[in-house]
Amino acid sequence: MGINFRNYKTRNGNKVLIKPSKNSIQSFKDKVRALYRRVMYDRDFESFIIALNNLIRGTALYWRMTSAKKIFSKMDYFIINKNRKLLHRSYSKKSHKWIKGKHYKPSSNEEFKDKYLLTDPETGRQLIRMNWFRVKYNNYPLRYGVSPYNCDDWDYIEKIKFKPIINCLYV
């Protein structure tokens, strides 16, 4: 599934949090690295930005039902560092100011105020950020020890406004 259900102890008692698993995060990073390796030889920034946007969008939409806000920030930081290294290798004799002027532009989206987004200089296509996706984590207070796989807990789970329990397990 790519997510972990973990019980954390807090001052107010126990809390169950759903987070992306380490294997899922590592798989995302490996896919990003593969895209960066491919663009090093192709130098086709438009198809690279399209592929990376699709990967970011799909992963963010999958992870946004978990408590993954910090992980979104970490993945953005990972991608920003990969961008910086890629452009420095591509234009090793150019200054940082020249690279910034050619490949980094302010966000064309009115909703987000980012100053520096990786932009294809020919088409103007921009790379999106994972932080732009809102986390839609439903914070329903669950009793400690409740499991959707335990038949005794089904009534309790349905009562706190989840989908019907059969849809939760098989969708």
98 shares its domain with 169: no
105 shares its domain with 41: yes
Asked if pLDDT for residue 27 goes beyond 80, the answer is yes
Model pTM? Answer: 0.76
- pLDDT in the model for residue 2: 82
Domain hosting residue 166, numbered range? 141-171
163 shares its domain with 98: no
Structural contact between residues 18 and 65, judged by C-beta atoms closer than 8 angstroms: yes
List pLDDT tens digits, range 151-169.
Answer: 888 777 777 755 444 444 4
109 shares its domain with 89: yes
Nearest to 65 by CA among 135, 141, 139, 164: 135
Q: Based on the structure, what is the number of domains in the chain?
A: 2
| Tokens of residue 118, six digits | 């990786």
92 shares its domain with 160: no
